[in-house]
Amino acid sequence: MCKFAVLGNPIKHSKSPLIYNIFASLTNIKCSKYTKILASKDNFDIIVNNFFINGGLGMNITAPFKEHAVKLCNNISYISNITKVVNVIKKQKDGTLFGDNTDGVGLINDLIRLKLLEYNNNILLIGAGGVAKIIVMFLLSYGCKVFITNRNIDRVVDLYDFYKQLNSMYNIVLLPIQHINKYNYDLVINATPVVLNISKMKLSNTIKKTAKFYDLYYHKNYKSVLLKRYKEKISYYDGIGMLIYQAAYSFFLWHGVYPPVSLTLKYFNR
**DSSP state string for 165-203:** HTT-GGGEEE--GGGGGGS-EEEEEE--S-HHHHHTS-G
Residue 47 confidence (pLDDT): 96
pTM: 0.88
Nearest Cα neighbor of 16 from 29, 33, 40, 41 is: 33
Nearest Cα neighbor of 35 from 76, 7, 75, 67 is: 7
Question: Which segments of the chain belong to CATH 3.40.50.720?
Answer: 104-238
Q: Rounding to the nearest 10 degrees, give the CA dihedral for residues 190, 194, 198, 200.
A: 180
Residue 105 confidence (pLDDT): 94
In words, the CATH class of domain 4-101+242-267 is alpha beta
Question: Which segments of the chain belong to CATH 3.40.50.10860?
Answer: 4-101+242-267
Active site residue 233: no
Q: What phi and psi, each to the nearest 5 degrees, are found at residue 88? A: -150, 135
CB within 8 A of 31, min separation 6: which ones?
1, 2, 4, 24
Q: Rounding to the nearest 10 degrees, give the CA dihedral for residues 48, 50, 53, 57.
A: -40
Rounded mean pLDDT for each run of 10 residues along the chain, 270 residues in total: 87 92 93 89 96 95 92 95 93 97 94 92 86 87 88 80 70 82 86 60 58 77 56 75 96 96 92
Residue 243 confidence (pLDDT): 95
Nearest Cα neighbor of 43 from 32, 51, 31, 35 is: 51
Burial class (CB in 10 A: 0-12, 13-18, 19+), 182: exposed
Helices 240-255, 103-113: axis angle to 10 degrees equals 130
For residue 121, CA distances in Å to 140, 207, 247 come to: 10, 13, 26
In words, the CATH class of domain 104-238 is alpha beta
Nearest Cα neighbor of 264 from 256, 247, 254 is: 247
Q: Which of 3, 33, 41, 66 is catalytic?
A: 66
Q: How much is the mean pLDDT over the chain?
A: 85
Residue 134 confidence (pLDDT): 86
Residue 173 confidence (pLDDT): 87
Residue 196 confidence (pLDDT): 44
Task: State how far the Cα of 258 lies from the Cα of 105, in Å rounded to an integer.
Answer: 14
Q: Are 65 and 44 in contact (CB under 8 A)?
A: yes
